[in-house]
Amino acid sequence: MGLVNPNDPRAKRTRKYIQKAFTDLLAEMDFEDLSIQDIMDRAELNRATFYNHYQDKYELLELTMSGAFTEILSKWIPPGTRMQGAELLRNLMLAVCEWQIEMTKQLNARRTLSQAMEDNAKQQLYNGIISCMEHVKDLSAEERRRMEWVATMISWSIYGVVVKWCQCQEEPAEQFIEQVLPFLMSNLRTLDLHDSKEEF
């Protein structure tokens, strides 16, 4: 990667074709069985083009998933937004619900990518939580470390409970979230964060 300008419109268009071919094929076959040649044949591009944009299919997987999640997350938490407390948790959960449903549908409920999906979502949730806490920059080293623990706990909790909900979807996402939200907030309030600037 690095042989093309990532901001060039033609490069963006090529990556879009490659990622579309990739996600289409993932609905048909397991990731481990998928070759770069398969992807480029579906995209109707030559194999050499792939390496102008990605190192290997693992990087393609990571960037495709992170791009899909970022797009959904930015819809619920627009860039520059500073949400906190229940509003932040609610919108994060709505984003994960939408992403989980969409990815499960696209991947035809395949389990081979579940760990990659989980790792990607947790990391992006963590980043989203931290970025929404503008005041975290003013915290001491100890307070910042505590806030990072909180962000980790929130991201893991949200992902876990959403995956559980997605398996049966017995109620609409909004209803499910309103039932779960008080428990997440209650757990957060048990943390000794009152001396710092967090509003969780």
Q: What is the pLDDT of residues 60-77, one digit of tens each?
A: 988 988 888 889 999 998
Percentage of the chain surpassing pLDDT 70?
Answer: 84
Domains of the chain, residue spans: 9-55, 62-189
Give me the pLDDT at residue 135, please.
58
Give me the pLDDT at residue 108, please.
58
Q: What mean pLDDT is predicted for residues 5-29?
A: 89
**First CA to last CA distance, the chain:** 41
Question: What is the domain class of 9-55 according to CATH?
Answer: mainly alpha
Spatial distance between the Cα atoms of 151 and 128, rounded to a whole number of angstroms = 9
Is the CB of residue 31 less than 8 Å from the CB of residue 113?
A: yes
Spatial distance between the Cα atoms of 7 and 112, rounded to a whole number of angstroms = 32
Give me the pLDDT at residue 198, please.
45
Spatial distance between the Cα atoms of 103 and 82, rounded to a whole number of angstroms = 27
DSSP of 157-195:
HHHHHHHHHHTT--S-HHHHHHHHHHHHHHHHHTSS-TT
Spatial distance between the Cα atoms of 180 and 90, rounded to a whole number of angstroms = 10
Q: What is the pLDDT of residues 81-114, one digit of tens each?
A: 777 788 888 999 999 999 888 887 776 555 556 7
